[in-house]
Structure 1
Amino acid sequence: MSRMEVIQQSPLTDDLISVHEIIGYVLITCKELDMAMYHGEHLAAQTVSQILKISTKQAESAYYNASGLSKKKGWGVGELLKWNKAKSHMNGPVAEAILKKIAKDERLDKYVISEIQAAGYLSLAALELNFLSGQLTPLEMEFNYQLRTLVKNEACAIGLHFLESDKI
C-alpha cells in the first residue's frame, strides 16, 4: 500500500498520544523527508514549545485551517529570505538550555494530545520556524503516515532519547 493510500484510509483522529511520542513522530517525519538532522530537532523542540504555550483548541483550529495558515505565510522572495535565515539558525543542535527546560518540564509527562491537535502544533511550530508554506502539507502528510506505521513505543523511545540527560 502506498503512503498516499495509507493517509487516505487513515485520517488523523482524536486518538490521544503523549508528548514524548509526538517528539518521536516529528523526528522520524523529518528524517523521512530528508530534512537536515538539526532541522528536525529544532522542529521537535518548537513543537513542544507550542504545546506548552498554545491551547489545544488553537492547535486544532490550526490543523483544520492549514491551507489558510499557508496563505497567511506569504509567498515569494520574502518567504525565501526568512527561510534561509531560519535554516542558518537551525544548522546546529538545539541549545542545551532549551532542551534542559523541555526535559525538566513535568507537565510533558502528563499531557496527552489528539493526533489532530498534534498535527496543528506541528504546523504552528513549522510556521514559527519560518518553514516554507510548500513544506507544510508534505510535513503533515508524512506525520500522519508515521502515526500509522511507526509503533507508539518506538516513537516514545525516540522522543525520550531526544530528551535524555546525557545528550544535554
Structure 2
Amino acid sequence: MARMETIQESPLTDKPMSVCEIIGYVLVTCKELGMDKYHGEHLAAQTAVLIMEISTKKAEDAYYNTSESSKKKGLGIGELIKWNKSKSKMSRSVNSAILEKIVRNASLNILHISEIQAAGYISLAALELNFLSGQLIPLEVEFNYQLRVLNLNDALAIGLHFLGIQLEK
C-alpha cells in the first residue's frame, strides 16, 4: 500500500503514547526524510523539552493549526538565514545536559500523550529549531506513516537508546 493511502486510512488519533516512544518515532521519521543524524536528534530532544514545558492543549492546537503556524513564521530569505544558523547549531550531537534534564524529569517516564498532541509538539519543536515551513507538512506526514508501520516496541527501544536508558525486561 502506498504511503499516502496508509496515512489516509489511518489518521492521527487520541491513542496515548509514552514520551520515549514518541522520541523513537521522531528519530525514525527524520531518518526516513533524509535529515542528517543530528537534526533528528535535536528535533527529538526539543520535542521532549516542549512536552515538559508546554500544555497538551497548546500542542493539540498546534497540530490543528500547523499551516497557520508556518505562515506566521514567514517565508523567504529571512527564513533561509534562520534555518542556516539553526543547521550549524545542529551539526553536532545534542548537549548531554539537555538529555540529562529530559531523563531526570520523572513525569516523562509516566506521561502519555496522544498521537495528535505528539504531532503538535513535533511541529512546535520544528518551528523553534527554525525548520523551513516547507518541512513541517512532510514531517507530520512521515511521522503519521511511521506510527502505522514501525513496531511500537522498536520505537520505544530507539527512544530509550537515544536517552541512554536501559530497557527493563
TM range (shorter): over 0.9
Q: Calculate the TM-score normalised by the size of structure 2.
A: 0.97
Q: Indicate whether 1:57 and 2:96 are aligned.
A: no
Partner residue of 1:141? Answer: 141
Please give the alpha-carbon distance, in whole angstroms, between the structure 1 residues aligned to 2:149 and 2:110.
Answer: 24
Q: Which residue identity does 1:97 align to in structure 2?
A: A
Partner residue of 1:108? Answer: 108
Q: Kindly tell me the number of residue pairs found equivalent between the two proteins.
A: 166
Partner residue of 1:83? Answer: 83
Q: Which residue identity does 1:5 align to in structure 2?
A: E
Q: Indicate whether 1:6 and 2:6 are aligned.
A: yes
Give 1:50 shift.
Answer: 0.7
The secondary structure found in structure 1 opposite 2:17 is: strand
Give 1:19 shift.
Answer: 0.2
List alignment gaps of at least 5 residues for structure 2: none
The secondary structure found in structure 2 opposite 1:44 is: helix
The secondary structure found in structure 2 opposite 1:17 is: strand
Please give the alpha-carbon distance, in whole angstroms, between the structure 1 residues aligned to 2:42 and 2:91.
Answer: 9
Please give the alpha-carbon distance, in whole angstroms, between the structure 2 residues aligned to 1:97 and 1:2.
Answer: 40
Structure 1 stretches of 4+ moved >2 Å: none
Q: Calculate the TM-score normalised by the size of structure 1.
A: 0.97
Please give the alpha-carbon distance, in whole angstroms, between the structure 1 residues aligned to 2:33 and 2:133.
Answer: 15
Identical positions, percent:
69
